């Protein structure tokens, strides 16, 4: 499942031998003059020209839990400001993070719009991502999705990125991983764009094989609810907002065949609770058919683009910018593509008490609903000070154990009535810093403290 391009070039040599004479030709005199003048001109241009971009692709070698030993490359553009958005860009089989960086337009779009790009690299045979094992298909089950989630947490801790603006995209194996990540971590990712993928759990196997021929050939046909149930089973009990989805597929794809395109639509319209009947259909470019589900806006719950006569070669030029627009990242001003689903600002208050000793501490957290409507399926987000790592907890599920943490209520306390309070807490190790998180949010809305 590769996605490569190749260019050819040729060079014509031209003779530079001087005329056979003792006198210097006019061309030789001009060359000598330029040899004196050009260094001075170059020096002047360097003095007045703006500095070149300092942003480079860098490898991060220690970023948290990484059960399958993925590699992480990171691109932080010079234009990244305070609380930047994050895009995880996942490569195809036989590829790598650096190859996806150089072979797609996401880094140049990051330069323009100021978001950070994470490029994971698979390390197993064939450099395909694990989208088939039982461990990969459930939240925090192990394997590649856990490592990618850790990469996001690292960026949030290291660069103060916006936890409410995290997105994922990928091609082929990376598109399949996009589907998996949206199902496993709906509280982490706001939206995804899958180029030539298959639905979450379509590639599932139980024999240790990483390849599912029936799914690849497009012969796995389930009802929308059956597909939706597979996503919901990846994170049982989750009742919060679900990420939006954009899917792309070429009609002549012979690797992950075209019927998977419609199965993805079935899955995500069911997960997001919108009609399978398109709200709009258009052709934004020759050969493209775009359908939108749930509404006809640029950031509809589900958007699908079918590309006529094209095989397993996406994304091609211009498609990355369409994905960025679907995410709402084509602006330097943050947007909320899903208004109305978060709690009312100021509808929560958090109390936080720490009892510390030597290299350990206990934190007790009190969450109060100060609004007029219940907090249902709540998730409390906060960033632990550097050096603190959660070892155990109560009253909530905590993920990950360090950095940008999300505490999600359990079945018995997942709904907090107006005026009611729930108490949760955890035990952690520390390396000297026993401080408190600077801020707390529920569903992306800030809570008061005290």
Q: How far apart are CA 17 and CA 152, in angstroms?
A: 59
> Residues with catalytic annotation?
172
Is residue 295 within 8 Å of residue 237, measured between CB atoms?
no
Are 65 and 146 in contact by the 8 Å Cβ rule? The answer is yes
Q: What angle do CA 301, 303, 308 make, to 5 degrees?
A: 170
HEC letters along the chain: CCCCCCCCCCCCCCCCCCCCCCCCCHHHHHHHHHHHHHHHHHHHHHHHCCCCCCCCEEEECCCCCCCCCCEEEEECCCCCCCCCCEEEEECCCCCCHHHHHHHCCHHHHHHHHCCEEEEEECCCHHHCCCCCCCCCCCCCCCCHHHHHHHHHHHHHHHHCCCCCCEEEEEECHHHHHHHHHHHHCCCCCCEEEEECCCCCCCCCCCCCCCCCHHHHCCCCCCCHHHHHHHHHHHCCCCCCCCCEEEEEEECCCCCCCCHHHHHHHHHHHHHCCCCCCCCEEECCCCCEEEEEECCCCCCCCEEEEEECCCCCCCCCCCHHHHHHHHHCCCCCCCCCCCCCCCCCCCCEEEEEEEEEECCEEEEEEEEEECCCCCEECCEEEEECCCCCEEEEEECEEEECCCCEEEEEECCCCCEECCCCEEEEEEEEECCCCCCCCCCCEECCEECEEC
CA distance 289 to 333: 29
Rg (CA), the chain: 26
DSSP E strands, 38-185:
57-60, 71-75, 86-90, 116-121, 166-171
């Amino acid at each position: 499942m590769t996605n490569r391009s190749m260019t050819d070039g040729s060079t014509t040599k031209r003779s530079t031998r001087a005329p056979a004479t003792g006198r210097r030709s006019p061309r030789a005199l001009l060359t000598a003059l330029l040899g004196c003048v050009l260094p001075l001109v170059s020096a002047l241009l360097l003095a007045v020209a703006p500095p070149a971009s300092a942003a480079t692709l860098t490898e991060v070698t220690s970023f948290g839990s990484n059960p399958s030993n993925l590699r992480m490359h990171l691109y932080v553009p010079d234009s990244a400001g305070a609380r930047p958005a994050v895009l995880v860009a996942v490569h195809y089989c036989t590829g790598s993070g650096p190859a996806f960086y150089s072979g797609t337009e996401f880094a140049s779009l990051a330069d323009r719009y100021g978001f950070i790009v994470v490029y994971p690299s698979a390390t197993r045979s064939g450099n395909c991502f694990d989208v088939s094992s039982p461990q990969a298909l459930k939240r925090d089950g192990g394997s590649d999705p856990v490592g990618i989630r850790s990469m996001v947490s690292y960026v949030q801790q290291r660069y103060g990125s916006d936890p409410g603006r995290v997105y994922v995209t990928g091609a082929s194996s990376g598109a399949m991983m996009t589907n998996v990540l949206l199902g496993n971590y709906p509280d982490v990712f706001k939206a995804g764009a899958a180029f030539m993928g298959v639905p979450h759990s379509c590639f599932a196997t139980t024999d240790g094989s990483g390849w599912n021929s029936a799914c690849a050939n497009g012969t796995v046909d389930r009802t929308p609810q059956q597909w939706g149930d597979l996503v919901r089973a990846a994170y049982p009990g989750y009742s919060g907002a679900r990420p939006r989805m954009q899917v792309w597929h070429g009609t002549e794809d012979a690797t992950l065949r075209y019927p998977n395109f419609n199965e993805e639509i079935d899955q995500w319209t069911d997960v997001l609770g919108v009609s399978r009947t398109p709200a709009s259909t258009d052709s934004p470019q020759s050969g493209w058919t775009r359908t939108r589900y749930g509404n006809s806006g640029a950031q509809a719950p589900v958007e699908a683009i079918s590309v006529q006569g094209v095989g397993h070669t996406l994304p091609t030029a211009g498609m990355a910018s369409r994905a960025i627009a679907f995410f709402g990242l084509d602006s330097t001003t943050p947007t909320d593509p899903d208004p109305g689903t978060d709690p009312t600002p100021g509808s929560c208050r958090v109390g936080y008490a720490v009892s510390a000793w030597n290299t350990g501490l206990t934190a007790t957290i009190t969450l109060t609903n100060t609004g007029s409507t219940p907090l249902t399926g709540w998730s409390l987000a906060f960033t632990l000070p550097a050096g603190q790592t959660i070892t155990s907890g109560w009253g909530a599920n905590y993920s990950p154990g360090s950095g940008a943490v999300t505490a999600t209520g359990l079945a018995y306390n997942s709904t907090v009535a107006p005026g009611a309070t729930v108490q949760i807490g955890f035990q952690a190790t520390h390396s000297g810093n026993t401080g408190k998180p600077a801020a707390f949010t529920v569903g992306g809305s800030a809570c008061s403290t005290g």
